[in-house]
Amino acid sequence: MGRPVQETSDVREYDERGRHTTTVRQLFVLPGGALIIDNPGLREVGIGTASAGIAGTFPDILELAEGCRFSDCRHDGEPGCAVQAAVAAGTLSAARLESFQRLMRELAFEEEKAEIGLVRLEKKRWKAIGKYAKDLWKIKGK
């Protein structure tokens, strides 16, 4: 940022890693327009289930996708893909499409991870119900 904007601590000598100094989230706008978020204690920020955000970020690709032959087109070599045709024609940047596809893969992964968590919870719930029923059967049998 070209100037001190918040308190920092020294790097530990034995492992050359920093220590948490800040305790409040803060957003910094760099002179070039980039953003940096200080999230103390947070190891990563995931995409979550931000499909609405993706739609707002890539409206051009979603509009082009309406012209694809298949409604479930992944824009990755399927015949009749309007998005790939736009890349070939030079009206859509290949890098932009790649960013879109990468975010869509990450979104699908996060949704699958959430689904696995729900399945695990449901399985745990039914296991507890089964154990309860088994315990009741033992009590009634005596």
Is there a contact between 107 and 54 (Cβ–Cβ < 8 Å)? yes
- CA dist 37 and 29 (Å) reads 9
What is the pLDDT at residue 52? 64
Where in the sequence of the chain do the CATH 1.10.40.50 domains occur? 51-117
51-117 is a CATH 1.10.40.50 domain: yes
- Residue 95 pLDDT > 70: yes
Query: Which residue from 30, 31, 12 is spatially nearest to 21, judged by alpha carbons?
Result: 12
What is the pLDDT at residue 84? 95
- Percent of the chain scoring above 90 in pLDDT: 25
Q: What is the mean pLDDT of residues 70-96?
A: 93
pTM (two decimals) = 0.53
What is the pLDDT at residue 97? 95
